Amino acid sequence: MASSENIYPVCYPDIITEHTSIEEALQSFPLPTKQINRSYHVENSKKTGYSPVFRNISAKHGLITTMHPDLTTVYDIFQFTAKSSAKSPFLGRRIFHPSTNEFDDFYTYDDFETVQHQRDHLGSGILSIIEQKFPELLSNDNSHDGNKFVLSIFASNCPEWIITDLMCHAYSIPNTTLYDTLGPKSSFYILSLTQSPIIILTKDKILKICELVSNYDQFKDDFKDIKQTLKINLKLMISIDDLDPETDQNLFQLTKSLNVSLCSFNEILSIGESNPHPNVPPNANDLFTISFTSGTTGTPKGVELTHANFMTAVSFLYCHVDVPKNAHSLCFLPLAHVLERYKVVYEISAGAALAFPHIPGKVQTYIDDIKIMGNSTHLCAVPRLYNRIESGLKQNLKSIPGFKGYLIRYIVGFKQRLLFNYHVSESAWLNQLLNKFFINKIKSKIGFKDLNFLISGSAPLNEKSIKYLRAALACRFFIGYGSTETFAAIAISDSLDIKPDNCGPVGVTAELKLKDVPELNYTWDLNKSGEILVSGPQISNHYYKDDKKTAESFEEDELVPGKKWFKTGDIAKIDEKHGNKIIIIDRVKNFFKLSQGEYIAVEKVENSYSTYCANLIDHIFIYGDSYQSYLVGIVGITSAYDENIEGFNNEGFNKSLETLLGKKLKNNDLSLRRFLILEMNQLISPSGLFGFEKIKNCYFKVSPMTIDNDCLTPTLKIKRFSCKKEFKGDIERLYKEGALNLRKY
């Protein structure tokens, strides 16, 4: 197999030379907007069944792989920052006090130098224990790898998560991650496939892992198609939380009975401080992590990502997104997924301070943490979280009484018109005046007084929400496109785009082409659309120990040996009139045929409802039976919606979802359902959906799809297979009831 270095040699922007210092190089970014806001057709790259290959105009001489020739691994980045910003705040937390059962109302930070010492102590402590108890885990062939094992992390976001990850970089230990929503079967699969002997985890996860170790027989039949024998090889558990010999005696006894050693994070730090081991820096092509996708169906796929992949991903962000001065952010998206991990390395390179939620995983408390931080400069989140922020803002502004409330709501609407109808820039004097006397007060109230920009990824976010948040928070808004296999974003929008319906052109670190999907009428010749295929130094080219899925998901390049194109499964349209920007419109696999022969692209339909009915619904699952001529659905209704529904039967449904509306929803009230379906179908009129693409019957529920019931991924995407199973009875009842009469109410 050809190496990545041969296909994509080290390349950095033209503004950087071998004589440029790292400090000077980093200050040269981002690249000017005019140099990166469009892509071009690579000459003679058009093949039958495909579009031409697209490259960013700043990548004509090669795809960018790094910001500087001396930065080739994540280890290099942290070493540089730990030296240049040694005393700057880095990892922050709100300390909990058991005596009062309360958290501090302020954040306490460790600086970069302190974290560097903790990293080295942790690595030294782990190697010391391995040398004493498990020497077979160490490589004896004098290879560069140094170690023959994969370390696992099973914890919510916390400073120790970052320290563990940094330790893995410093000692060339690849890692993988577990998370609650994987479930026991997938967790067993990952631990068995990787043969991971060491896991660093929070104390509340220890029993879950012990159950996997002791009950592995129950999962064997689930993986009959796997060639190798699956069995967990766990030898050491390291608890991030302190352990008490008396109160935690049951944990020590249980792990001992399973021949697994158990100790605390702080114990390992103490051992490492007394027994220092030198760093074992990685090479660019060394394995950085195995990121198992939560996916929407089937067994998780382990995406192999190298340090070269990661450095290219960080270079993409540097070229396209500027780092705010005195950068601070809340690290709340799951670190088990690549979006937050690559954002964190981007922030590390800039010497940013990272704060962690005081109650990880509890979304309702994040705004409180941001308020206490008080100086958050940027935020990276998924669409559903932005929808919650938008709904919260609207509710707060709506609750302001009298003329003051009317005025501030009018100002936000007026500013939207200035920005998007009259194209008045944010820096214009009128917008600056509105910000000074009105908008900044809104921002300060919720902890965003220093907010510079927002970034959204994972799934499409409706255009109305972007416009509202940009106006109400006086900030820029980036829309990124990518996946685990592409190490997060390979395209990102112009943060000040007056028509925020796109993900921008392909970035400077990848190339892109579209593959025709004729069965859905998506072809380059017909409508400049098709399935997105991507290639480049940022993209993984293999799934861990899974040649079959690798072959299914990647295409070999016809001309360049070893070069692969990842088949994303996303369908996009290329906007040739505006710099070849990418507009995501559908998914390849998510379609079905109705009885009359019409194909339904279900994600396109669901996105249309989510976009145009954002104030009514949280999530929507649409289903079409090939023996039926119409669509049905399950809709999660939002409590923020109380404008139009109060007119129904004059019963004032703005009381609350838990009272009158809640009862009618629970009872699947037919009149209410007809009213809401009519509302939804009226709202989506501008979408251009055909009549057969519109819902004809559905049930409305409060939070029917959650991570806990396995209907949503951790990034809040619909898990279609799980939804179909969860709502099988509802779907059958809806089809039995038949299409509702929706011609008039």
The string of pLDDT tens digits covering residues 55-72 is 999 999 999 999 999 999
Q: Which residue has the tokens 């509710």?
A: 395
CATH class of 110-305: alpha beta
Give per-residue burial for 60-85: e unless 16+ CB within 10 Å, then b.
eeebbbbbbbebbbbbbbbbbbbeeb
Predicted confidence at residue 224, as pLDDT, reads: 59
- DSSP readout, 139-203? --S--TT-B---EEEE--S-HHHHHHHHHHHHTT--EEE--GGGHHHHHHHHHHHHT--EEEE-G
- pLDDT for the residue 643: 40
Residue 661 — very low, low, confident or very high, per pLDDT cuts 50/70/90? low
What mean pLDDT is predicted for residues 316-327?
92
pTM for this prediction: 0.85
Tokens standing for residue 667: 């009872």
Half-sphere exposure of 162 (CA within 13 A, CB side): 27
| Of 212-226, 518-532, 647-661, minimum mean pLDDT range | 647-661
The matching CATH number, chosen from 3.30.460.10, 3.30.980.20, 3.40.50.12780, 3.40.50.800, for 386-587 is 3.40.50.12780
481 has which bridge partners? 491
DSSP state of 658: T
What per-residue confidence (pLDDT) applies to 20? 92
CATH 3.30.300.30 domain span(s) along the chain = 591-737
DSSP secondary structure, 363-407, as one string: GGGHHHHHHHH----EEEE-HHHHHHHHHHHHHHHHHS-HHHHHH
Q: What percent of the chain has pLDDT over 70?
A: 91
The mean pLDDT value for 420-443 works out to 92
Residue 648 has pLDDT above 50, yes or no: no
**pLDDT tens digits for 216-255?**
777 766 665 565 556 789 999 999 999 999 999 999 999 9
* pLDDT tops 90 at residue 718: no
Residue 218: predicted pLDDT: 74
Q: Which CATH number fits domain 591-737: 3.30.300.30, 3.90.1720.10, 3.40.50.1100, 3.10.20.30?
A: 3.30.300.30
In this structure, the chain runs to a length of 745
Q: Which residues in the chain are classed under CATH 3.40.50.12780? A: 386-587
Give the confidence band of 741 by pLDDT, cuts at 50, 70, 90. Answer: confident
Q: In angstroms, what is the C-alpha Rg of the chain?
A: 26
Q: Which residue has the higher pLDDT, 742 or 583?
A: 583
Question: Do 611 and 680 meet the contact criterion of CB atoms below 8 Å apart?
Answer: no
Residues 365-391 have a mean pLDDT of 87
d(CA 8, CA 239): 41
User: What local confidence, expressed as pLDDT, does residue 651 receive?
Assistant: 37
Q: 204 phi and psi, to 5 degrees?
A: -70, -10
CA-CA distance, 345 to 74, in Å (whole number)? 7
Sequence ranges of the chain with CATH classification 3.40.50.980: 110-305
Residue at 108: amino acid letter: T
pLDDT digits (tens, 9 = 90+) for 665-679: 777 888 888 888 998
Most confident by average pLDDT, 32-46, 216-230, 652-666: 32-46
